[in-house]
Amino acid sequence: MPNVVLRPSQIYFLHDSIDCRFQDKTNMLETFRQLLYKEINPAAIQPIAVFDKNDKWWVYAGNRRLYLFRKLEEYGVVKYITAWKVRKIDPDEWKKRNTTTNGGRSVSIRNARQFEAKMQNIVREWRSNRRGTNIAICHAYHNQYGESTHREPYRHGNIVTHNNDHGERSKALFWIVVLLIALLWLTTTIFPNIASRRH
């Protein structure tokens, strides 16, 4: 089957509900946690199969995987996924699989109490760990320069710089300008006078 690259949010569910476990009995929440913490590469997950029908991409196989990918997209972990494009489908098989009651916009989770609440707990813990890691990096960088700096760092993306860096650059630029002005004065005033005296 040929591949197609799509945002998870572009793909619609075919079922109205999905079980909380995969066919191999792996818990979806645990898989979600591993994907969130990058213990599992999303590319290592078996691609879902999709079908283009009425100008909409439908998941033909992999509703549970689509659910996780949609959540990962929501939290900024995944932007696009590679899916298998099904060229032809059996109409009877399509009717059998198509149980959605809301146009494929969402699914409910079966056999799992408070599934969404538990997922939110995982996300909160993940976000808290990320903030803690960023703070630790800033402190480590600050300590590398010693306590004598006494300046708060600036953050540009993932790069941290200090105020004193900007001050040093400004001083260097100032002296370069001064030297250039002095050189210009010498070449237009002193040197011509010396040359005229020799003649």
Q: Which CATH number does the domain housing residue 88 bear?
A: 3.90.1530
**CA–CA gap between residue 181 and residue 191 (Å, rounded):** 15
- Residue 195: pLDDT band with limits 50, 70, 90: low
118 within a domain of the structure (yes/no)? no
**Exposure of 197 in the CB half-sphere (CA atoms within 13 A):** 6
Q: Which of 30-34, 135-139, 182-186 has the lowest mean pLDDT?
A: 135-139
Task: Verify that 106 and 171 share a domain, yes or no.
Answer: no
Among 62, 78, 54, 55, CA closest to 23: 62
Going by C-beta distance under 8 Å and a sequence separation of 6 or more, which residues neighbour residue 10? 57
Mean pLDDT of 123-137: 79
pTM of the model: 0.66
Q: Which of 112, 132, 162 is the last residue of a domain?
A: 112
The count of domains in the chain is: 2
- pLDDT for the residue numbered 46: 92
20 within a domain of the structure (yes/no)? yes
Does the pLDDT at position 88 exceed 70? yes
Task: Verify that 12 and 68 share a domain, yes or no.
Answer: yes
Q: β-pairing, 17-19 with 108-110?
A: parallel
Mean pLDDT of 129-143: 64
- Residue 172: pLDDT band with limits 50, 70, 90: confident
Identify whether the C-beta of residue 124 lies closer than 8 Å to the C-beta of residue 33: no
Q: Which of 112, 127, 157 is the last residue of a domain?
A: 112
121 within a domain of the structure (yes/no)? no
- Tens of pLDDT, residues 101-113: 999 999 999 998 8
- Tens of pLDDT, residues 15-49: 999 999 999 999 999 999 999 999 999 888 999 99
Does the pLDDT at position 194 exceed 90? no
- pLDDT for the residue numbered 192: 60
Q: Which domain holds residue 72?
A: 3-112
Identify whether the C-beta of residue 91 lies closer than 8 Å to the C-beta of residue 33: no
Q: Which of 87-91, 118-122, 168-172, 178-182 has the lowest mean pLDDT?
A: 168-172
Task: Verify that 14 and 100 share a domain, yes or no.
Answer: yes
